[in-house]
Every structure is written in C-alpha cells, then in structure tokens.
Structure 1
C-alpha cells in the first residue's frame, strides 16, 4: 500500500494534445499519482530518460504511434534505465504486430483508447501495482486469432491468417477479459487465483509469433 504522504510520478508520452489531456485527467483520478512529465516525441522521451536524476517514475503511459517515430523504440531504453518502472501502452488501435512486440519488450499492459475514463483509471491503478493487463479489445483480438487457428483446415485456400493456439484455460480467461470482467472477477468466476489469470493472459500473448510484414 502506498503511504498517504507518498506521491508516485508518472511520465506520459503522447503527441495528441486532446488524448494527453484526457489521460492526464485519468492519472489525476488516482490518489498518490502525479504527472511529472509529458513529452510528445521519441527524441524528447529519450532525452528525458537519459537525463533523469533521482528516483525513477513509477509508471510510464506510452503511445506507440508518435508523429516522428514508434514508441516501441523507447521500451528497451526505459526498461534498461528504469527497470522497476511499469510501462503501459495506450494506443488507438489493437494492431497485432505492435501489441505483441510491446509486451515482449517489457510493457506491463496494452490498453486501447476507447473513451472509457473509468477503465483507463482502473488500468493505471492495476499496472502501477505490478499487475499484467490486457484490455477487452486486445483480448477479443487474441480470441479472433485463436479462432483463425481453429478454422485453418476449412480455409485452406484462403490467404494465411495469423494463428494463435490457445489452451482451454487461456481461451476461458480471454473470454472473460473480452467481456470486460476485471482480473479479480475473472479469477472468481473461474475459481482460480488472480495471479493465475495474469500469468495466463501474459502467456497467451507471448506464445504467438506474428507473421512478417509484407514488403511492397
């Protein structure tokens, strides 16, 4: 539990001013959190990380689609310089290449911006406590990939789809998360521990290798 007089700092990396204002309001809903810095570019964030002095921030909210580059390039740097800092990706779309790469590079969660401030605030609170988080939109995407794997035989002549082989437990967990259940509610509904839910959702993502991007 965070002491009442202790404030944890957050770094926001977002180049859209409207989204940044919205995310700032979500941060300020959480007691004990303070927005320390807001940067809008890859270069500005690298400069901030490399020049940081003192205790690292508790949380980084990272947009991947920055105007001058990809937020993915920042993840290894942040993880190396701030190993105890939790990074949550907040993106406008659940692109399969990006969310898998983000989680594999150390992000603790991937949340799709959908205008639900309560969901974002809850996600911020979960990730700052060290929980792994997959948003309902990402869970639905993973389920769709699992369905594509199951239907490969029937679609033999169709272009190959990204496929994800899910275990029964992984599928059950993702169904609950896709319906908007919290990790705690998912654990109770399946009679398993919350840590098992987090581990299962993380494993289901890490077990999929996205196909290479097509070259034009």
Structure 2
C-alpha cells in the first residue's frame, strides 16, 4: 500500500480498548505516512492525551470500559476545537450515530471499512471536512429526509382547508382575496376564519398572523 499524498504532517491519536485493533490500525496508518502520536484505551485517557499531544485527529471508538467515546468526543471538541474526531466503531444504530454527531465528531466509519476508506477519512477529518461511511451517510440522509415539515405539523387541530386559509392570512391576504384564491364564497371564508380564531385561541387577525408566522407559515 502506497502512502497517500498530503498525509505526512497528519498526527493521530488512536482510542480503542482492544490492543490488537490499535496495533493493526497503527500499522495501517503508519504505512501511509500518518504519524500515530499515541494510543488510549478509554475515553478519559483519550481526553488527557488529546490535551497533552494536540493531534490533528483522534480516531475514537464509542463503547469502552472506563468512559465512553461520546463524552470524550464532546470534551475534546469543546476544549480543543482544532482537533478532529473520527469515530471508528462497530455500532451502526441511529442513537450512536447521532449522539456522535451531536458531540462534535467530524466523521463516522464502521470498523468493517476498508483500509483505503479509513485512510481517506483520517485525511479528510484532518483537513476539517466531515465524512461518513456509505451506510452511515445513507442513514443520515434518510433521517433528514423523513423529518416532518414543521409547516405540515403545525396546528394539528386545524383541518387542511383551515390550514390553507391560515397560510393566506399569514401572507396578509384579505377575506375577499382568500375567497378568490381558494374558489370559496366569502361566507365560507368568514366561517373558516372564525373557526381558526377559536381553535388557536386568538382574538383577531393580527394575533393569528403572529402565531402562523412563528410556525413558518406565510413565508412562501
């Protein structure tokens, strides 16, 4: 395996509670010209060594005896923002993935990842990029794609038609304009507006507009 260009200056701290895995990862990275400046076997030890050694990247396992990688990641990224944390773990569940992201990890790979993929991820994280393995990236994209639109979930007590009327109220439309837009009679619009005020517990149009715009309605 040949060294990847640009890796010579990268300094890495490996954190994992399995000595054999640390040894194998050290060999892989050193073969690519990456300098492994230390090894930690627990979260607290990783925090201590990261503060002392100031590596470019901490390769972090998540679940270890004596302190987990999530807390260690959070501490390291808070106290030394220039250090990038690359999670390398066997855990692929959503809780682990998003906990690591919230803690400030720049990357997340599974231990089954290939050597070249791990090496590229280390280099990317050292450069300040965010990187995720293919499966993790799909999981993240699916998560955000499935997030409900707040405009659709706001005011569940309203009917779909009442929500359409409220959207137009939030845009500053008059009852007559709403009637023309939705092809409704003025009386029907007045009834919808009255129901909206009652359900939202507002006294007038101005209060309804404030509530609607706070929920993201009326902006488009």
> TM-score interval w.r.t. the shorter chain?
0.5 to 0.7
Structure 2 gaps, min length 5: 150-220
In structure 1, C-alpha distance between the alignment counterparts of 2:142 and 2:81, rounded to whole Å: 33
- State the distance in 2 between where 1:132 and 1:46 align: 21
Q: Which residue of 2 aligns with 1:39?
A: 40
TM-score by length of 2: 0.58
Identify the match of residue 81 of structure 1 among 54, 79, 84: 79
| Structure with higher RCO (Cα < 8 A, 6+ apart) | 1
The equivalent residue for 2:217 is none
Measure, in 1, the Cα distance between the counterparts of 2:64 and 2:118.
20
Partner of 1:113: 111
**Cα pair 1:14 1:40 within 8 Å, conserved:** yes
Match in the other structure for 1:11:
13
C-alpha distance in 1 between matches for 2:114 and 2:62: 19
Q: Cα deviations across residues 37-95 of structure 1 (Å, max 9, x unaligned)?
A: 10101232233245x16xx2111100001122311011122113221111111111212
Please tell me whether Structure 1 or Structure 2 has the larger radius of gyration of its CA atoms: 2
* DSSP-derived class of the 1:114 partner: coil
**Residues in 2 aligned to 1:8 and 1:144: alpha-carbon distance in whole angstroms:** 32
Change (3 A) 1:131 1:49: closer
Structure 2 CA distance for partners of 1:29 and 1:127, relative to 1, 3 Å: farther
CA distance in 1, matches of 2:148, 2:133: 20
Please list every run of 5 or more consecutive structure 1 residues that lacks an aligned counterpart in the other structure: 150-163, 167-216
TM-score of the superposition, structure 1-length normalised? 0.59
Residue 143 of structure 1 and its aligned partner are, at CA, apart by 5.3
**Any conservation in 2 of the 1:42–1:74 contact (CA below 8 Å)?**
yes
Compute the displacement of 1:20 (Å).
1.2
1:153 is aligned to none
Q: Measure the CA separation in 2 of the matches of 1:39 and 1:99.
A: 21
Aligned ranges 1:117-156 → 2 under 5 Å: 117-142=115-140, 145=143, 149=146
Please give the alpha-carbon distance, in whole angstroms, between the structure 2 residues aligned to 1:71 and 1:8.
21
CA distance in 2, matches of 1:12, 1:24: 8
Bigger helix share: 2
Q: How many residues align?
A: 145
2:92 aligns with 94
